[in-house]
Amino acid sequence: MILAVGNVLRLTADVQGPLDEYQRSQLLSGLSITRNLAAEQAASADLLAWLRGELDPALESDGRPCAQRARERLEQAADGIDAGEALGELLEELRGEPRRDDSLRHRVQRVLGEMTDREVEALGRGTR
């Protein structure tokens, strides 16, 4: 994404004379992307902390090794990519778990859904 924005800015810098409509739209798209990236970066630490806080009690109380591994990896996660990998592996291990509202699988999926909503809200706040 950052490379794409860089390419747009480089091409725009090379333009001689006024921008045509296409060049202007590309420049505005680059601006929009950078605003979203900045909002995502600004919110990432808070979102990761929130995710840990929401899932830690459920992971801690679940006695299965897969939950304990996920808890440890989530605690050590440096960013959303690390957290996503840990939770993705957990959900893969829980794939056969019955669909119940009190299941660990359901809890993780519900929290991830809420986190997505929070990230979208953060992106919206960052583009104003």
Per residue in 8-23, pLDDT tens?
A: 777 777 878 888 888 8
Locate the domains of the chain by residue range: 2-126
Average pLDDT, the chain: 87
| Its pTM surpasses 0.75 | no
Residues near 51 by Cβ (< 8 Å), separated by ≥ 6?
A: 74, 83, 111, 115
CA angle 112–115–117, rounded 5-degree value:
115
Confidence label for 86 from pLDDT (cuts 50, 70 and 90): very high
Rg (CA), the chain: 20
